[in-house]
């Protein structure tokens, strides 16, 4: 059961990041929240709930409205055009990022934010940025699946920034073009030493 849930979570994260990349390439922004958060609705909810991985095109069009997309942890649409009651700010970023930071502080929530300014997709968990995708990087879409696998492995934390350039091919780890992973050095060490042990 846990494995099935984990696979569903990965599929949902991949779907949101791929949609985010398409939105960012056009120079538009969006905010997706998986989990519970306080919000008010900016628009009437005329679209009935649906499994977002089954209809990414509809989700993408709803994401372009003002406000956030709220998704239940089972992957179904809860609300769109939602205004999140922000209690946190993210230095040097605007209101969408503040809403993202606030949303990510709820335990178990995963937040995907698309910035129209720098065309980057950021993933937040537990009040911290854990991953960033550059929509302008060539073939970044091909890195999404691997990055989501790493996202599930790397602990939350900002002790160090793990640039993909330091994930050397000599360690047998694939480089992920256009992806930066922010995570605990402890977890990175576990991934790297585990990889090295397998090789020896």
Which residues face 123 on adjacent strands? 112, 131
DSSP H/E element including 140: none
DSSP 8-state code for residue 155: P
d(CA 28, CA 43): 19
Q: 134 near 114, Cβ under 8 Å?
A: no
Phi, psi of 177 (to 5 degrees): -60, 135
Q: Which domains does the chain have, with CATH numbers?
A: 2-199 (3.40.1700.10)
- What are the pLDDT tens digits along the chain (200 aa)? 455 557 888 899 999 999 999 999 999 999 999 999 999 999 999 999 999 999 999 999 999 999 999 999 999 999 999 999 888 776 777 788 889 999 999 998 999 999 998 999 999 988 888 888 999 988 888 888 877 876 666 544 433 344 444 443 333 333 466 776 665 444 444 444 444 444 44
* Tokens found for residue 91: 């230095």
**Distance (Å) of CA 179 to CA 61, 75, 122:** 25, 24, 10
The separation between CA 137 and the C-alpha centre of its own chain, rounded to angstroms, equals: 17
């Amino acid at each position: 059961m846990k494995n099935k849930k984990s696979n569903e979570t990965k599929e949902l994260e991949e779907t949101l990041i791929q949609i985010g990349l398409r939105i960012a390439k056009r120079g538009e922004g969006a905010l997706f929240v998986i989990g519970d958060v306080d919000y008010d609705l900016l628009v009437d909810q005329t679209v009935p709930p649906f499994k977002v991985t089954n209809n990414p095109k509809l989700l993408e069009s709803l994401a372009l409205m003002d406000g956030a997309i709220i998704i239940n942890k089972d992957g179904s649409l809860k609300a769109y055009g939602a205004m999140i009651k922000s209690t946190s700010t993210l230095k040097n970023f605007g209101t969408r990022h503040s809403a993202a930071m606030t949303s990510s502080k709820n335990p178990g929530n995963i937040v995907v934010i698309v910035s129209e300014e720098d065309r980057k997709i950021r993933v937040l968990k537990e009040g911290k940025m854990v991953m960033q995708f550059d929509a302008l990087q060539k073939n970044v879409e091909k890195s999404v699946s691997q990055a989501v696998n790493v996202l599930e492995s790397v602990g939350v934390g900002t002790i160090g920034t793990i640039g993909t350039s330091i994930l050397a091919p000599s360690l047998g780890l694939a480089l992920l073009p256009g992806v930066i992973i922010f995570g605990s050095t402890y977890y990175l060490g576990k991934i790297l030493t585990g990889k090295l042990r397998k090789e020896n």
